[in-house]
Structure 1
Amino acid sequence: TEWAFEEAALRGADLTAVFSCGELPGSLADPEAQPRWWPEYQAQQQELLNQRIARWSARHPEVVAHCAVTTGRTAWALMRYAPEAQLIVVGSRGRSEFVGSVLGSTSNALIHHAPCPVMIVPSSASANRSGQP
């Protein structure tokens, strides 16, 4: 999140934080097929995302931030926003040097299909801002 806000500030760009809840049964396009719990769950996740992003917005008041809670595989949920994006920033959950060097499915899909640059921030980079191991 820190890297995304700093990049948005450097670029003078808005930031859109996207949280995907994964695949849902049925289709959200068909309200009859929508799970009954979805609207409440979506609202809860929206509030959590808004709170997290608000903390970073306070540190970077020059960045206009938006939040979106959506469904689907994470990579494809992010790809919905990619046509207007200057950059997609995602984290990497590598748990060791070897695992961290191998791209996960989300990162792999984004670097192959996104119409804009993709920044993959390893989990260790939050402790070491230079991004060096």
Structure 2
Amino acid sequence: MGGLVVVGVDGSASSLAAAEVAAGEARRRDAALRVVHAFMWPALHVPLGPSSWGPPEGGLRNMTERLVAEAVERARAVAPEVEVTGGVVTGEPLTVLEEQSRAAELVVVGSRGMGGFVGLLVGSTAVHLAAHGRCPVLVVREHPEATGPIVVGVDGSAAGDKAVDFAFAEAALHGARLDALHAWTPWNAPMAPPQDASMPYANEPGALAEGEERLLAETLAGRRERYPNVSVTQRVVRGATREALIEASRAARLLVVGARGRGGFAGLLLGSVSQAVLHHAHCPVAVVRGEDEHR
């Protein structure tokens, strides 16, 4: 057992679901699991112990230790063979979890925490961690599906290569089918050299579609060889990427995307497609940053 999976908990239903999912991920990886709660109150200089008028088990410190203990218990029930530890770390959640991610191979969080506003599908900590985490970040809703394929969005970008690698590895760990989906429109497809030099913006009918089919096949080719036991379905869809991925997530157990895609603006840590699926996907979402995005 050499790897480490980290899960952030705050006592919410989605964070307890995240602890259970994280336990399964740790078991599949033969990794240890660390349950972490970010405890901000000491920095605000508020009383942490029980009130002199209340029961001895009261107080903020005891409350946080109980919620960590509950998450640890839930994780051990899912994967009793996994080494599970829990801890309360003083600090703001994003800062604490980003630091934890430096030593982890995966960080798992719930989609919305105790401080989430009613109506929001995903909380700010999950979005910010997806942008700043130093390893892949898995965002879990309250009732994740355990069946269905793993869907990965493929856009052919160098930044997206890590997401494809992660998706193949997850499919192998889960024994799941992998659906590789590439969506394109004439506005985001790279223009092939025109056949007629007198018409610099003209292409043969179907040339763009053929190019996008080729892009997906070339992206998957080497990885198919490395993961011969993973069944892969290739799908090229003409349409908006975010809508295609959200629709595909309805029947998926996991959706994997890169943090930024082919059309991303330089300097943005999280692209519009990644943000859209975090908010609207119907299954857990893993966001994977490329090598250049960690610098």
TM-score between both structures, scaled by the size of structure 1: 0.72
Q: Using a 3 Å threshold, how does the CA distance of structure 1 residues 22 and 129 change in structure 2: closer, same or farther? A: farther
% same residue: 30
Deviations 1:28-82 (A, max 9, x none): xxxxxx6553596434422441243124313312211110112222111112211
Please state if 1:64 is matched with 2:83.
Answer: yes
Q: 1:37 corresponds to which residue?
A: 48
Aligned residues: 120
Partner SS state of residue 81, structure 1: helix
**Which one has a bigger Cα radius of gyration?**
2
What letter is aligned with 2:85?
Answer: H
Q: Which runs of 5+ in 1 are unaligned?
A: 27-33
Q: Using a 3 Å threshold, how does the CA distance of structure 1 residues 50 and 113 change in structure 2: closer, same or farther? A: same
8 Å CA contact 2:27–2:82 kept in 1: the answer is yes
Partner SS state of residue 84, structure 1: coil
Cα offset, 1:20, TM superposition? 1.6
Please state if 1:50 is matched with 2:61.
Answer: no
Distance 1:9 1:106 in 2: 25
Q: 1:106 corresponds to which residue?
A: 125
Higher RCO structure (Cα 8 Å, ≥6 apart): 1
Cα offset, 1:3, TM superposition? 0.9
Q: Using a 3 Å threshold, how does the CA distance of structure 1 residues 111 and 57 change in structure 2: closer, same or farther? A: same
Distance 1:89 1:52 in 2: 13
What letter is aligned with 2:48?
Answer: W
Please state if 1:91 is matched with 2:102.
Answer: no
Distance 1:13 1:121 in 2: 19
TM-score between both structures, scaled by the size of structure 2: 0.36
Partner SS state of residue 24, structure 2: helix
8 Å CA contact 2:42–2:48 kept in 1: the answer is no
Cα offset, 1:113, TM superposition? 1.3
Pairing 1:68-79 to 2, within 5 Å after superposition: 68-79=87-98
Indicate the RMSD between aligned Cα atoms, in angstroms.
Answer: 2.7
Q: Using a 3 Å threshold, how does the CA distance of structure 1 residues 107 and 58 change in structure 2: closer, same or farther? A: closer
